[in-house]
């Protein structure tokens, strides 16, 4: 018996003590679920509601958050479980900021939607994301704008498997289109988004014809035939290479995908009578100093030029900054670095960026497309206040229950190392060329002030760029990018052609 008891104590792992933040229905259900089998032992609740403080709920005392510092020390707690899934984003943000200084990891219960739809159980705890700390409450969408480009229409999304493209698809499929055509060059990404959309359709009993198309926007014939064959009414062009250092080192592929891909998609839309064409752009297109930004500025200009010619298509661009958690962004990079024990690499202590959650960005893109009236305008999403990347790194370290190691705290867990700005990077991005833009009917969507473009032959430009790309003439490609970006503003000396006729023995064309 003694041996059995000894082995039992050795083999049975003691439960970890945790605090549940929120003594409401969700907190009670979480405590019950954890008591029925988990690695956690709830020892108390904290709740902001003064009426609950001092009471006993499900056998556990409810305390004020003001007492949390002492409670963490007394109970030796290392985790706080956030059980307020249906609270407004602003409330969650305040709670997380309150918890940030404490030496605890914060976990959260699944979203209210996932619980209601049966996708997750309440005890399936998740890490708190930086979106929870930096995100904001969404403005109630204008459903007329949301539905105008999707309901009972054939909709196409290029780059459908990407961060923004996939979220656009998830929101569009709920707006009851007839067809949703998904163009994606990554087979795995196309499989994943098709599977996810099929599950949404099955769960919500949506009768949407999902059409996965494997291919690239640089295939002019493919994109033209897809638009024509499926009778596309609305085209969201989200396909793009967006990673600044990668595109800087691969200017030819960046120009092919971001510039020629936009030209082919917009040309197909105009040729085949698409009603709305919406380009997904970026703040890096404003006064661009890197190849990626130049390609996206060129894409905006192409969309404006397309809008100048009479057609059935309404063209527009929607410009915004970084989205939290997208592939290639600093958020997943920092998360991986923290999990490995650091260091976290930041380019510069003063560098700032705009951030927005992916769902909010996609929702605003759809509404901006609904506002477009046909002159190729550029809509700009209100991104809020720029965030210091250094502060973002500190917040992510604290969210994972760790401390930053610096001069003030030499015993911290994670060091932050400054690596210097990379080629083509700015300290600060901006969303407008001018001081500001024009307001719209939506508080978070602006119209950019547009300078008059100098005249140039878009078709000849596309031919020249294609020939330069095919001949692998990177310097010519870069000159062509600079030429179209410079042509975006009227100058006193007027428009001057750049003849690029002979380069390393290759004829690459003339921009007229």
Residue 362 to residue 174: CA distance in whole angstroms: 13
Residue 399 to residue 317: CA distance in whole angstroms: 36
Residues in the chain: 512
The sign one gets for the Cα dihedral 395, 104, 68, 33 is: positive
Closest CA to 107 of 22, 223, 209: 22
The first and second tokens of residue 125, run together, are 């705890």
List the alpha helices (DSSP H) in 256-313. Answer: 261-271, 291-308
Residue 104 to residue 418: CA distance in whole angstroms: 26
Residue 265 to residue 469: CA distance in whole angstroms: 18
DSSP state of 415: E
Residue 343: cis peptide before it, omega within 30 degrees of 0:
yes
CB 291 within 8 A of CB 248: yes
Backbone angles phi, psi at 35, to 5 degrees: -70, -20
Question: Exposed, middle or buried, 502 (CB in 10 Å: 0-12/13-18/19+)?
Answer: exposed
**Beta bridge pairs of residue 127:** 107
The DSSP string of 8-34 is: HHHHSPPPEEEEEE--SHHHHHHHHHH
List the alpha helices (DSSP H) in 420-502. Answer: 458-470, 474-486
Catalytic choice (242, 284, 296, 390) = 284
Q: Is 386 helix (H, G, I), strand (E, B) or coil?
A: coil
284 assigned to active site: yes
Residue 283 to residue 429: CA distance in whole angstroms: 7
The first and second tokens of residue 208, run together, are 């949407």
Closest CA to 20 of 88, 71, 70: 71
Q: Where are the beta strands (DSSP E) in 73-122?
A: 79-82, 105-108
CB 178 within 8 A of CB 207: no
Q: Is 148 helix (H, G, I), strand (E, B) or coil?
A: helix
**Beta bridge pairs of residue 184:** 214
Cβ neighbours of residue 57 closer than 8 Å, sequence gap 6 or more: 23, 27, 28, 45
Residue 318 to residue 145: CA distance in whole angstroms: 15
The single residue listed with the structure tokens 């001949």 is 471
Q: Cα–Cα distances in Å, from 205 out to 160, 174, 177?
A: 22, 10, 13
Point out the residues that are catalytic. Answer: 284
């Amino acid at each position: 018996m003694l041996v059995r008891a000894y082995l039992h104590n050795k083999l049975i792992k003691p439960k970890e003590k945790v605090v549940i933040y929120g003594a409401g229905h969700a907190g009670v259900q979480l405590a019950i679920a954890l008591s029925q089998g988990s690695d956690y032992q709830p020892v108390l609740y904290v709740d902001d509601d003064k009426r609950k403080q001092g009471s006993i709920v499900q056998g556990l005392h409810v305390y004020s958050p003001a007492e949390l510092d002492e409670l963490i020390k007394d109970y030796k707690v290392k985790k706080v479980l956030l059980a307020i899934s249906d609270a407004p984003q602003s409330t969650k943000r305040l709670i997380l900021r309150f918890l940030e200084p404490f030496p605890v990891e914060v976990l959260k219960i699944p979203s209210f939607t996932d619980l209601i739809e049966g996708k997750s159980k309440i005890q399936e705890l998740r890490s708190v994301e930086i979106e929870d700390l930096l995100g904001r409450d969404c403005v109630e969408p204008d459903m007329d704008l949301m539905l105008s480009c999707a309901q009972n229409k054939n909709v196409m999304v290029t780059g459908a498997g990407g961060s923004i493209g996939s979220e656009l698809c998830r929101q569009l499929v709920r707006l009851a289109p007839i067809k949703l055509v998904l163009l994606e060059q990554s087979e795995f990404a196309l499989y994943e988004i098709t599977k996810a959309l099929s599950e949404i359709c099955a769960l919500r009993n949506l009768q949407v014809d999902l059409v996965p198309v494997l291919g690239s926007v640089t295939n002019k014939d493919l994109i033209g035939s897809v638009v024509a064959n499926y009778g596309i009414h609305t085209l969201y062009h989200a396909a793009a290479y967006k990673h600044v250092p990668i595109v800087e080192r691969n200017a030819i592929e960046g120009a092919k995908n971001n510039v020629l891909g936009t030209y082919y998609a917009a040309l197909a839309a105009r040729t085949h009578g698409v009603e709305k064409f919406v380009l997904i752009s970026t703040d890096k297109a404003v006064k661009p100093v890197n190849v990626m930004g130049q390609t996206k500025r060129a894409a905006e200009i192409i969309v404006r030029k397309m809008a100048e010619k009479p057609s059935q298509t309404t063209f527009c661009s929607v410009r915004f900054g970084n989205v939290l958690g997208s592939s290639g962004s600093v958020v997943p990079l920092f998360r991986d670095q923290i999990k490995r024990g650091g260091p976290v690499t930041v380019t510069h202590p003063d560098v700032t960026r705009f951030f927005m959650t992916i769902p909010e960005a996609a929702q605003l893109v759809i509404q901006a497309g609904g506002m477009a009236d046909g002159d190729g305008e550029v809509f700009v999403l209100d991104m809020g206040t720029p965030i210091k990347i250094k502060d973002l790194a500190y917040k992510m370290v604290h969210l994972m229950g760790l401390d930053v190691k610096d001069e003030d705290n030499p015993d911290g867990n994670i060091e932050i190392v400054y690596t210097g700005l990379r080629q083509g990077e700015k300290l600060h991005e901006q969303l407008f060329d001018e001081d500001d833009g024009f307001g719209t009917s939506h508080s978070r969507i602006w119209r950019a002030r547009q300078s008059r473009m100098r005249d140039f032959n878009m078709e000849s430009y596309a031919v020249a760029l294609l020939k330069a790309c095919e001949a692998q003439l990177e310097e010519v490609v870069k000159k062509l990018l600079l030429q179209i970006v410079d042509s975006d503003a009227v100058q006193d000396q007027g428009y001057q052609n750049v003849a690029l006729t002979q380069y390393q023995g290759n004829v690459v064309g003339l921009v007229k």
